[in-house]
């Protein structure tokens, strides 16, 4: 079963992406395609976040990835194919090796090799309880 949930502190700030290992494999495939969307599970209790998003949208552009919230309900990752493939590898590799409370921060820093400075921060966490 594919289960991903994105929760947010505020629409311009940090987002939390929780899912199963198989969900992150599916997300990696979507990122590698460079376009498409995937529905998200709604988190019953988004604590410590304030709400949940309903869909991931992936689009291609000619620049590094910009991750953002669109219309207060969708998460969009828009970037060139090299950057989208790198994000896919990072998420899949993390999911394959995550243990316990491990998490991955996907944050922009100056001269980041695949993220644009306009990106929101994303915290990725594998949650076996969702299986």
Q: What is the tens place of the pLDDT at every residue in 73-101?
A: 999 999 999 999 999 999 999 988 888 77
> What is the C-alpha separation between 29 and 35, in angstroms, rounded?
10
In this prediction, residue 130 has a pLDDT band, given cuts at 50, 70 and 90, of: low
Q: Residue 101 and residue 61: Cα distance in Å, rounded?
A: 34
Arithmetic mean of pLDDT, 99-120: 93
Residue 11's pLDDT band, with cuts at 50, 70 and 90, is low
pLDDT at 7: 84
Confidence of residue 48 (pLDDT cuts 50, 70, 90): confident
pLDDT of residue 46: 75
Q: Is 22 exposed, middle or buried (0-12, 13-18, 19+ CB in 10 A)?
A: middle
- Condensed to tens digits (0 to 9), the pLDDT of residues 36-45 reads 999 998 767 7
pLDDT of 88: 97
């Amino acid at each position: 079963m594919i289960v991903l949930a994105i929760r947010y502190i505020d629409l311009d700030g940090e987002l939390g992406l929780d899912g199963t290992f198989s969900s992150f494999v599916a997300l990696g495939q979507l990122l590698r395609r460079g376009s498409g969307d995937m529905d998200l599970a709604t988190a019953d209790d988004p604590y410590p976040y304030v709400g949940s998003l309903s869909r991931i949208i992936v689009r291609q552009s000619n620049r590094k990835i910009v991750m953002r919230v669109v219309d207060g309900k969708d998460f969009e990752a828009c970037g060139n194919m090299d950057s989208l493939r790198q994000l896919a590898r990072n998420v899949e590799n993390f999911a394959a090796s995550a243990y316990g409370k491990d998490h991955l921060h996907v944050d922009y820093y100056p001269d980041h090799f695949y993220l644009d400075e306009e990106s929101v921060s994303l915290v990725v966490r594998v949650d076996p309880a969702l299986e």
